[in-house]
Amino acid sequence: MIQYSIQPSSPHAHLFTVVMRIAAPDPEGQLLRLPAWLPGSYMVRDFAKNVVTLSASCGGAKVEVQRDDKSSWLCAPCDGELLVEYEVYAWDLSVRTAHLDSTHAFFNGTSVFLEAVGQGDVACGVTLEAPEGEAYNGWKVATSLSLAGAKLYGFGEYCADNYDDLIDHPVEMGDFSCATFEACDVPHDIVLTGRHNADMDRLCRDLKIICEHHINFFGLPAPVDRYVFMTMVVGEGYGGLEHKASTALLCSRKSLPVIGEDGVNDDYREFLGLCSHEYFHTWNVKRIKPAAFSPFDLASEQYTRLLWAFEGITSYYDDLSLVRCGLVRPESYLQLLAKTISRVQRSPGRFKQSVTDSSFDAWTKFYKQDENAPNAIVSYYTKGALIALCLDVFIRQHSGEKKSLDDLMRLLWQRYGLDEDGLAQGVPENGIEAAVEELLDVGQAKLARSFFNNALRSTNELDVESALAYLGVQLQLAPAKNQSDWGGYRAKHAKLAVAQSVLGIRSAAAQGFVKITHVYDGGAAQVAGLAAGDLVVAIDGLQTKAGQLEKMVAGYTVGAEVKLTAFRRDELMQFEATLQGAEANTAQLSWSGENTLRCQAWLQGEEA
Ligand code: ZN
């Protein structure tokens, strides 16, 4: 047994104190290590950098400790229980690390729990301690860690099967709001930390619908016996990370429904989509997971080409499930789908990088995006979701409408999630493609191979238009009206926007002016020599305040030559640009009026 105790010992200094007791340390000297990354977020973050102090003792006598590498400490051999005490700095408000102040404490085990290397299979006990002081008397605990003496929501004793289990149950401490609902007889908590006015009953009602949908989608029983949605509510923020029996979420206050409000506005729809996404991961990636992650090696990067399936398919179902369970109308779903298509259309990088490469290089490219990202990379989330849509249609088409992507997910669940051997082995790199072939009519394997080669391993444009046509949806690409136009649902004969003049940039307001954040390959700005970071102050000698440039440019005819004045660092520079017409890269979706039965089958889905 390895015993940890953790206390937010100094909320004002953002420090946790952790005490770790190892009953049977390695006689050669115990190696201790913090992960370099955490599952679900594919970037090396070197959590050990936040360990501020560390000391070890045995039977009251000091044990020498040496650094072994950037993430490890080596304790001198000792006879008897090894006690390690350390402090961890926690001041990153994200779902991936740890955050502590006088309002709350949140941590992922990967940020705070050292692994006793070589003893990863040993069961762990965890004592969660409240901070000292009356100010913290109202604090409670939310976590999916198993209770081992603590009362539900209380401080005290918890446990985990082994180290991997220990680090897959984040913990929230604070005076949070909490409500519970049952989905298919399993208790689910929704926990909100931070200032909010949310209608907790409404959240319970809507999340219950989503959770029951997902459980029934994969088939009863649910893979968890308890689940926690732990949510940090802030003014502006968005994020989520999946865990085996919980999810850590970050959301904007405005995305939560208030009492008396009904209907699902765009912000709340985004929140529901996020919850749906993370909950779907309970199956797809937490249990059906790549063989490359079985087991996890958290010391350095682990490579897989399958993230298009784990993130892309999950991104496809997160929104599709909202319409299938009746929380949003079909037109509202088309609006979400249109946005995904527009996002892919605005990434010229899709012609340079395939989704399998994007997945493999997630560590250095997708997770480390810079100003050139739209030109150089493709998102395995957004293009992955469109591949899932095309694959769904492909399976329907080539199985005589008898099968769909839903069946693929259930087959993967049976094989790699439910089955104990499969769970241990994980999905091989060719496992998803092989499973698809099994679902198709005889003699379709060659077609499937060519579908996958094109969709996954090439940079050819995906034929989303034909896939949607099969489902009774008409896709038209039109120029965007402005930077924030992502397309949407369009009544059938509504007019499409005409191409206005653009510079081929993405921008943000800075110092009252327009700062270029991204320059698209081949666009007017790039041809003229403008670069990311440039602060545009005038066009043809007229001042361009933030929010005005786009309109001023649109006022010129396509092909017009203009003089742009911009600061690059502190140097004022002049550029001559020939304006181009906006590309038709914005998706407009409408009902074609054909294939309505297929459309219904698609939008309604069927339970397992
Ligand atoms: Zn995800």
SS3 assignment for 489-541: ECCCCCCCCCCCEECCEEEEEECCEEEEEEECCCCHHHHHCCCCCCEEEEECC
pLDDT in tens, 559-570: 999 999 999 999
Which stretch of DSSP H or E encloses residue 587?
strand 584-591
* pLDDT, tens digit, 9 for 90 and up, residues 44-96: 999 999 999 999 999 999 999 999 999 999 999 999 999 999 999 999 999 99
Question: C-alpha dihedral over 169, 170, 176, 181, to 10 degrees?
Answer: -30
Q: Give the span between the Cα atoms of 43 and 38, in whole angstroms.
A: 8
Q: How far is the CA of 273 from the centre of ligand 1 (A)?
A: 11
Residue 285 CA to ligand 1 centre (angstroms): 9
For residue 304, report the distance from its CA to the centre of ligand 1, in Å.
Answer: 15
- The contacts of residue 400 (CB under 8 Å, 6+ apart) are 441
State the distance from the centre of ligand 1 to the C-alpha of 47, rounded, in angstroms: 21
Compute the distance from residue 23 Cα to the ligand 1 centre, in Å: 37
CB-based contact 414:386 (threshold 8 Å): no
> 291-474+592-604 and 501-581: same fold?
no
Question: How much distance in Å is there from the Cα of 11 to the middle of ligand 1?
Answer: 31
CA of 314 to the centre of ligand 1 (A): 6
Rounded Cα–Cα distance for residues 581 and 249 (Å): 40
Confidence of residue 608 (pLDDT cuts 50, 70, 90): low
Q: Would you state the CATH architecture of domain 501-581? A: Roll (2.30)
Distance 367 CA to ligand 1 centre (A): 13
The set of residues, in sequence order, having a beta carbon less than 8 Å from that of 396 and lying 6+ positions away, is 403, 404, 470, 598, 602
The rounded Å distance from CA 136 to ligand 1 centre is 34
Q: How far is the CA of 127 from the centre of ligand 1 (A)?
A: 30
pTM over 0.95: yes
Kindly give the distance from the C-alpha atom of residue 82 to the centroid of ligand 1, in angstroms, as a whole number.
38
H/E stretch holding 227: strand 227-234
Ligand 1 center to 277 CA (angstroms): 6
Q: What is the pLDDT of residues 85-115, one digit of tens each?
A: 999 999 999 999 999 999 999 999 999 999 9
Query: What is the CA(279)–ligand 1 centre distance, in A?
Result: 9
Helix (H, G, I), strand (E, B) or coil at 37: coil
Phi and psi at residue 103, to the nearest 5°: -95, -25
Model confidence over 409-434: pLDDT tens digits? 999 999 999 877 767 789 999 999 99
- Quickly state the pLDDT bin for 187 (edges 50, 70, 90): very high
Q: How far apart are CA 368 and CA 385, in angstroms?
A: 21
The fraction of the chain above a pLDDT of 70, given in percent, is 100
How far apart are the CA of 113 and the centre of ligand 1, in A?
A: 24
Spatial CA neighbour of 428 closest among 312, 308, 306: 306
Rounded to the nearest angstrom, the distance between the alpha carbon of 350 and the centre of ligand 1 is 20
Following DSSP, what letter does each residue of 416-464 receive, concatenated?
A: IIISHHHHHH-B-TTHHHHHHHHHSPTT-HHHHHHHHHHHHH--SPP-H
Using CB atoms within 10 Å of the CB of residue 226, give its burial: 0 to 12 exposed, 13 to 18 middle, 19+ buried.
middle
* Residue-wise pLDDT tens digits, 540-590: 999 999 989 999 999 999 999 999 999 999 999 999 999 999 999 999 999
> For the chain, how far is it from start to end, CA to CA, in angstroms?
40
Question: What separation in Å is there between the alpha carbon of 240 and the centre of ligand 1?
Answer: 8
Fold observed for domain 176-268: Neutral Protease; domain 2 (1.10.390)
Ligand 1 mean position to 297 CA, how many Å? 20
Q: Report how far ligand 1's centroid is from the alpha carbon of 169 (Å).
A: 17
Which DSSP helix (H) or strand (E) runs through 72?
Answer: strand 72-75
Q: Tell me, in angstroms, the distance from the centre of ligand 1 to residue 309's CA.
A: 10
Query: What's the gap in Å between 248 CA and the centre of ligand 1?
Result: 12
> CB under 8 Å to 495, separation ≥6 — which residues?
none
Distance 426 CA to ligand 1 centre (A): 18
For the segment 221-226, the average pLDDT, to the nearest whole number, is 96
Nearest residue to 126 (alpha-carbon basis) of 11, 7, 219: 7
Residue 496, pLDDT score = 87
Q: How far is the CA of 380 from the centre of ligand 1 (A)?
A: 10
Give the distance (Å) from ligand 1 centre to CA of residue 465.
25
Distance 252 CA to ligand 1 centre (A): 18
pLDDT, tens only, 473-513: 999 999 998 888 999 999 877 888 899 999 999 999 999 99
Number of H helices, E strands in the chain: 18, 32
CA 447 – ligand 1 centroid, Å: 29
pLDDT digits (tens, 9 = 90+) for 353-386: 999 999 999 999 999 999 999 999 999 999 999 9
Residue 307 CA to ligand 1 center (angstroms) comes to 9
* CA 355–ligand 1 middle distance (angstroms): 15
CA of 249 to the centre of ligand 1 (A): 12
Label residue 377 exposed, middle or buried (CB < 10 Å: 0-12, 13-18, 19+).
buried
What's the CA-to-centroid distance between 26 and ligand 1, angstroms?
A: 37
Report the chain's mean pLDDT, rounded to a whole number.
96
How is the chain split into domains, by residue range?
A: 1-173, 176-268, 291-474+592-604, 501-581
CA of 239 to the centre of ligand 1 (A): 10
**Do the Cβ atoms of 139 and 130 come closer than 8 Å?**
yes
Ligand 1 centroid, distance to 595 Cα (angstroms):
31
pLDDT of residue 590: 96
Q: How many Cβ atoms sit within 10 Å of the Cβ of residue 97? A: 21
* Architecture of the structural domain at 1-173: Sandwich (2.60)
Ion ligand 1 — residues with CB under 5 Å?
311
Architecture of domain 291-474+592-604: Orthogonal Bundle (1.10)
The pair phi, psi for residue 28, each rounded to 5°, is -80, -5
CA 95 to CA 93: how far, in whole Å?
7
